[in-house]
Amino acid sequence: MFLGRYQLGDLVPLTVLCTGPDGSPLDPDSAPAARIYPASGGLVAEVALPCRDRPATTGLFGGRILLGPSYAPGRYLIQCRWQAGTFHGGRLLSLQVLPGGDATGTVTALCHYDRPGATHVINARTSGAIKKGRNPRATP
């Protein structure tokens, strides 16, 4: 399944429904692992997906992946695997990273303040990075 097109710094939502051999939802023995590979090969990242709404939904796992500096523009394959007893299941997902964006993420908080010597802007990013700037200008 194609998840969409994203830029560096975006958070990619990743949701997996674990199913058994008959296609019905099941709870695996442990959280499914998602391995992310670029089209050129080689593992970029591996993440364990946490459970989503365990009391209400059987086998639903998911999380978000930050497209940081280890991701280059191009297509990526995401291999999700789980095990329940002797059964091994999996899903293949894909996404495309487009040129542009900022590897530190998008701005989630912004503070603007004036001082006698300059105007300052401080922002927090989705990656947790704090960036600062001096004398910002707005262009029409």
pTM of the model: 0.76
List of residues 6+ apart from 44 with CB closer than 8 A: 36, 37, 38, 70, 71, 76
Domain architecture of the chain: domains with CATH? 2-100 (2.60.40.1220), 104-140 (no CATH)
- What is residue 45's predicted lDDT score, i.e. its pLDDT? 93
Integer Cα distance of 93 and 97 in angstroms: 14
What average pLDDT does the structure give for the chain? 89
Q: What separation in angstroms does the CA of 43 have from each of 5, 47, 51, 69, 110?
A: 20, 11, 23, 14, 35
> What's the pLDDT tens digit per position in 25-57?
999 999 999 999 999 889 999 999 999 887 788
Average pLDDT of span 94-121: 87
Integer Cα distance of 98 and 112 in angstroms: 30
- If one counts every other C-beta atom within 10 angstroms of the C-beta of residue 97, the result is 20
